[in-house]
Amino acid sequence: MAIRIDSNGLYLDGRRIPLYSGSVHYWRYSPNTWPTLLERIKELGFEIIQSPVPWGLHESGPGIFDFGEKNPQKGLPQFLDLCTKAGILAILRPGPFVGEDMPFGGFPLRVIRNSAVWALTSTGAPALSTRYATPFPIPSYASEKFLQEVGKFLDALAPVLASRQYPDGPVILCQMNKESAFMGRTQAYDLDYCTESITLFRNFLSEKYGAIENLNTVYATKYSAYSEIAAPKRCEATVQRDIPAYLDWVEYKEYLIRRFYQRLGGMFRDRGISIPLSIDGPSIFSTPMDSIGLQKSLEITLTGMEVDPNSSDYPALARQIRYLTGTSKLPFVSKFGSGNSWFAPRVSSPHEEEFAILSAVMHGMTAVNFHMLAEGDRWVGAPISRDGAFREEFADLFRHLHSFFVKYGVWESKKNCRTLVVLSYELERYHLAASTMNYAYLGLIRIPAVFSEVSLPLGFQIDPARQSIYEEGSWIQEACGFLENAQVEYNLSDSHLELDEMTKYDLVFLPTADFMDLREQEKFLEFADRGGHLVFGPGLPSLDGRMNPGSILKNAIQIPGTQTRGSGKITYLPAFDAAKELITADIPNVVLLDNPDLRLTIRGGSYNLVFLANPTTANQRSMIISSWPLRGVWNAPEETQTGSVTTEIGPHTVQVWEVLK
């Protein structure tokens, strides 16, 4: 392929360019403004734009499509040809779901009115979208009728897109869908109970267990055929041996998403689309969005993440970017808020946007698409107005950011990070399974999570539901807090991470409870054998993933503490009151602070840059301790300073210092 994407970035014919883009929706503007908008975008330093291609906009009737032949504002071919003329590359997002405040999320009304495409709730009702002003039925990822309709849209779009792929045209990447995990309806028993989905669920079980007798052994049941199995609609486990059936239903949702995207990717390829395919994923961790599993698919090159930054919630932003950096082939934020939706309570200031962008960069973001560069019907605070004029206070921010990114080679650098915190897929699945959030109306009226929890007195020594990344006080959250207080930068990933990727880190933290898949246990011990340091807790597994007696970790270490294993070490750590000794002198950043309220990371490349963030609402003063001279390059004094440097930093501000060697 003329285009390649790997962990180092985007390559066109072997030439590396930053995957640095911004959204402009051609169909929201009069065609006579397109040249001006593209010119303004280039002036801000962008060489790549992104635009959705709404199915429902271009379909004027069943099998009838308009790509500018009747309405010039729908002229995607003309817009892409203008991009070529302007020297701008393009990322297209043809859905089939695009969102973007489009009626019915961009689906044609005739399609979503067809009950044959609906995902159903556990009550048998259509599952409705809950994030849009006008709720509409969510299409099922299992529906063959839906895929057939999508195929008709791609049949019409493919000639436009295929002839304008790079190098013959400007299109370099095709993003499939948006909000890829059931439009945010991720609860275990919320959907999908349509007939085709239940059939797929039974096929999934058959593929996993083979003969029905194997499933009966695990479930302690007496089914004579897979066709007898009903999908669970709530968690009714009474003993530990009941749990695998509910975990399988949660795992099936991952399978359903993966299957849908493999099918969708194949449909693009069959129609001559040869450029890389990516997924515009939601900002969730782990199940049902198996980012690592999706990237193993031959048809999917890149899994991005949508991030709607909030400067007052720095911890959430940092956690999202750390997870993206720890799981994605290239840490790509496929939608990073620039401006605000019309229903937002207030518009972010340029200073707030600057803080959010630089915070994401410091924690590992290496590729980004800003949403939006030009204001839309219901989007305000973008750097370019609808008529092509600059909103100078926002435009000036992007000019300065581009100059900074280019001068210091930020997109060619990588975050210095030797520590990883791993989410357990089994424990995250259990967390979803142990929920009563199974009726559609509960999601619609925003029932607090505490009312959707169930108590499962199953005799576990460690409650698995309390070990999720989403649970306050969980071991994994304690691990994150411990590392931050120790000034150790870390990434987040999940237990699907390949061993070879894991061995890029020196120190790995893994939450455990009473049960854990034996192959997973072997993988993490192999990490230690290869020279890493594995820290796990609070539980010491005594059961495998099917609730049978068995443990590899327990055979390796029986009591809390640290033992040598192979070339590395393993530590069983039930609580963090004895964790300080885990941080050896070579683990923290080589540049340190004396203010625990601030956060510091380093990106290394052609330049070594120290990022210092103040996520608080007050001015902060700190001493930066560095054995190398430092020079401020963003929000910091420009003169060179050596030794211990005292700095003052305002609220919600990021400083950047260059390390001079």
3-state secondary structure labels for all residues of 621-635: EEEEECCCCEEEEEC
Model pLDDT, residue 587: 81
Residue 271 sits at φ, ψ, to 5 deg, of -100, 15
501 within 8 A of 524, measured Cβ to Cβ: no
Could you tell me the two tokens for 137?
A: 């039925």
Residue 653 sits at φ, ψ, to 5 deg, of -135, 145
For strand 419-423 and strand 9-12, is the pairing parallel, antiparallel, or unpaired?
unpaired
pTM of the model: 0.95
Helix, strand or coil, per DSSP, at residue 16: strand
Model pLDDT, residue 589: 81
Helix, strand or coil, per DSSP, at residue 322: helix
Q: For each successive 10 residues of the chain (661 residues), what is the average pLDDT?
A: 86 94 96 96 97 96 95 98 98 92 91 96 90 86 97 97 96 88 88 97 98 97 98 93 97 96 95 93 87 84 88 93 95 92 83 97 97 87 92 96 97 96 96 70 55 76 94 95 94 96 97 97 98 97 95 94 96 91 82 93 95 97 93 95 92 97 80
Place of tokens 């092509």: 388
DSSP 152: H
Per-residue three-class SS string for 358-421: HHHHHCCCCEEEEECCECECCEECCCECCCCCECHHHHHHHHHHHHHHHHCCHHHCEECCCEEE
Model pLDDT, residue 285: 87
Domains of the chain, each with CATH number or no CATH: 18-192+250-413 (3.20.20.80), 419-582 (no CATH), 592-659 (2.60.40.1180)
Model pLDDT, residue 439: 45
C-alpha 642/C-alpha 320 separation (Å) is: 34
Q: Which helix (H) or strand (E) holds 490?
A: strand 490-494
Model pLDDT, residue 230: 97
